[in-house]
Every structure is written in structure tokens, then in C-alpha cells.
Amino acid sequence: MKITRSNTMILLVSIIVGVSLVAVFPTFSDAQSEQKTFVTHSGAVVRTSGEVIDPLYTVSTVDFDPDEFLRNFEYGRVSVSETGQTIREYTIVAEDDKIQEISPGVFYNVWTFNGTVPGPTIRATEGDLLRIHFINNGSKEHTMHFHGIHPAGMDGVFEPVGGNGGQFVYEFEAGPVGVHPYHCHVMPLEEHIVHGLYGVFIVDPKEGRAPADEMVMVLNGLDTDFDTENNFYAANTIPFYYQHHPIQINTHELIRVYVVNMVEFDPINNFHLHGNLYKYYPTGTDIVPSFYTDMITMSQTERGIMEFEYEYPGKYLFHAHKVEFSEKGWVGIFLVKENPEINQDIEYGT
């Protein structure tokens, strides 16, 4: 009896041991001994022997530079017509095969105008003639559809431009005054927009605006897993970018931000500024501000101009007060410095 029972037990034990070896066998690869640290949202310092995944604090090597984009305005190749009208010519190339690192480690297929998301910020004065040479180097059909006033044939909707070198020249007078989006208008529209085919079109009034430190912010989202929900949000594409690369501005200096909301899927977006309020000009079409507030809500392609000045130096957040968006990347910091040339006139944006 002893023998037989022990035989059964041996068999049982060996089965159990064998199975647990398979189940428990550590598949963890060799651990690194080097200790790394990172800071959490609440300021705690965490140590790890592994790898830090942190879209906030790692210095990203992303292909697109939001700092460069922020204050960059394209005025085009300028000439004057016989009638004295300013002509601004641009060449815009669409592509749809780029894979870009849009957040550290996250690679996404962006569709671009001139290689970036958003595309270049096109800037003209009201009444200028815009001539945009559009070349589609993508594999799909693309167009450029400008918000604003122009003839039907220049609307970029019923004139799809074929891929692999298709061309079209958009020609119209810049207007009305304000800040407008432009984007591809080929079906399925949502797909063409969320992949990145959009940009900003600024029309300055003939008399100009007051000198200011001017910048462009395109509020956008990235649906990297195509489930019609955005995985990341940002001001100017790269999540959390201006949080770890604060935008430097001066006290007692007028700041003018051209804001365009291009977020898809979510019905609204918003813009909250810390330690200050801004004058808000919806669509930038009026010279009298409609609001003096620190919070505006924007629907798809809603846009406007914000103007403000900081009195006190320091770090001030700006972010979506729809906190889901800010915790997924749409958050930044203004680093306000004491103005060194407080009594001198400085002209920006020219």
C-alpha cells in the first residue's frame, strides 16, 4: 500500500511541479542594475531599476519642432501686380507616407502639408492675392480647402488633386480679416483631417495690429489606434511639449495667440490661462474683443485671437480645462520673465 500510494503521489507531484515550472518560469529578461529616477505628477520621486516611460520629462527627439512652429509665419514669395496688388505665392506639397515620432516612442503615420503637422502658417494682409501651387505627392487624393471668402472653384472640395504628383493652383484674395484654418477636404474627411492635413491661415487687417509677441497654437488630437477616440491631445501636435519646454515671454509685453481648434471626435475643446485673463476675438474678424476671460470653449475649427499681458514674472500653466485633454498632453507653461527693455518699443511679427 505504501509503495502504490507513494507511486501515485510521485506522479502527482511531478505533474504539479512540471506544470508550475511552466507557469511560474520567469520570462523576465535580465534586469539592469542601474537605478533611474523620475518625478510623478504629485512631485514624488520614484526609483526604478528599469526604464522610465514618461512623455512629460524625457527630452523628446521628435521630428517636428513645436518651438519653431510657434512663432513661424510664412509670408510667401512676394511680388506686386501691375495694379499694385501684393501677390503672395506659396508651394505646398502634400504627403501621406511619413511615420513620425509624435511622442517619445510613439510612431504614427502623419499626412502632411510641407512635411509637418500642422502645415505652414500662411499669413497675408487683407486684399493680397494668394497663389498657392499645390503638389500632391501622396498616394491618395488630397486638396486644400481654406475657410474664408473665395470663388467656388477655389474651395478645394470638388476639385480633388490626384496623388503621385497631381497639381492645382489655388488663387484668391485674402479675406476676411482674422484667423482661419485650411485643411484637406477629400472624403473620408475625418481620416484626412485627423492624420494631419491642416494648418492656419492668418489675414491681417490693412492697418495692421498693435505690435506684440505673436504665436500660433493649433489644438489637435491624435487617434493613434484608430478607434475614433484621441489617444493624445496637444497644442501644436506634440503632447506635453510646452510643459517641458516652457514658452518664454516677458512681463508688460502684449502677447497675441492665434488659436485654432482642430480636434476631431470630441465635440469641444477649451483654453484656460493661469494667473491672467485674455481679450478674446472670435475668428479674429472684429477689432473689439468679445470677451475678457480666462476660459473659452471651442468646437471643431472654431478659432480666435487671444491678447494678454503678464504683470508678474513666473511660471503659468495654460491648458484645456477639459482635464482629460490636459492629462493626455494638451498642457503647457508660459515662463514669464522680467522685461529687460521695459521702456523700449519692440516690434514683433513683421
Partner 1 sequence: MELSNNSSKVKMIASGIIPFVFVIIMMAYIFGPGGDLIDLGIPLPEVTIEKVDFVDSEIHATVRNTGPIPVNIVVADVNDRIHPAAVEPDGYLERYETALVRIPFEWNEAEPYTVGITVGDGTRFEKEIESAAPALQPTLDLAVFFAIIGTYVGIIPVMIGLLWLPFIKKISKSKYHFFLALTAGLLLFLAFDSIEEAVDVSNENLAGSFNGILLIATVIVLSFLGLYYSGEKLVQRAKSSKLAKPVAIALMISISIGLHNFGEGLAIGAAVGMGSIAFSTFLIVGFALHNTTEGIAIAAPMSREKVMIGKLAAMGMIAGSPAIFGAWIGGFVYSPFTSVIFLSIGAGAIFQVIVILIKWLRDEGDKNLSSASVVSGFAVGMLVMYLTSILI
Contact call for residue 265 and partner 1 (CB under 8 A)? no
Task: Give yes or no for residue 288 binding partner 1 (CB under 8 A).
Answer: no
In a 3-state reduction of DSSP, which class is residue 348? coil
Question: What is the footprint of partner 1 within residues 146-175 (CB under 8 A)?
Answer: none
Question: Do the Cβ atoms of 336 and 251 come closer than 8 Å?
Answer: yes
289 with 280: CB under 8 angstroms?
yes
Q: Cα separation of 336 and 318, whole Å?
A: 12
Residue 60 binds partner 1 (CB under 8 A): no
d(CA 323, CA 300): 18
Shortest distance in whole angstroms from residue 232 CB to partner 1: 8
Nearer to partner 1 among residue 23 and residue 210 (C-beta): 23
Q: Which is nearer to partner 1, 24 or 59 (CB)?
A: 24
Is residue 81 involved in binding partner 1 (CB under 8 A)? no
Over the window 107 to 146, marking each residue x when it contacts partner 1 by CB under 8 A and - when it does not, the resulting string is xx--------------------------------------
Assess contact for 103 and 329: CB atoms under 8 A: yes
Long-range contacts of 222-230 (CB under 8 A, 24+ apart): 222/102, 222/108, 222/194, 223/194, 223/264, 223/265, 224/102, 224/106, 224/108, 228/265, 229/265, 230/263, 230/264, 230/265, 230/266, 230/328
- Distance in Å, CB of 20 to partner 1, minimum: 7
Q: Which stretch binds partner 1 (CB under 8 A): 16-24, 179-187, 192-200, 334-342?
A: 16-24
- Closest separation in Å from C-beta 239 to partner 1: 7
Is 292 an interacting residue with respect to partner 1 (CB under 8 A)? no
Considering beta carbons, is residue 110 or 212 the nearer one to partner 1? 110
Is residue 261 a contact point for partner 1 (CB under 8 A)?
no
Is the CB of 149 or the CB of 323 nearer to partner 1? Answer: 323
Contact 307, 278 (CB under 8 A): yes
Q: Any contact of residue 46 with partner 1 (CB under 8 A)?
A: yes
Q: Which is nearer to partner 1, 4 or 164 (CB)?
A: 4
3-state secondary structure of 116: strand
CB 174, min distance to partner 1, A: 37
- CB contact at 8 A, 250 and 336: yes
**Cα gap 131→71, rounded to integer Å:** 23
Which amino acid makes up residue 214? E
Q: Which residues contact 276 (CB under 8 A, 6 or more apart)?
A: 294, 308, 309, 310, 316
Closest to partner 1 by CB, 28 vs 158, is 28
Write out the residues near partner 1 by the rule CB under 8 A: 1, 3-5, 7-8, 11-12, 15-16, 19-20, 22-24, 27-32, 36, 38-42, 44, 46, 48-57, 103-108, 222, 224-225, 231-232, 239, 323-324, 327-329
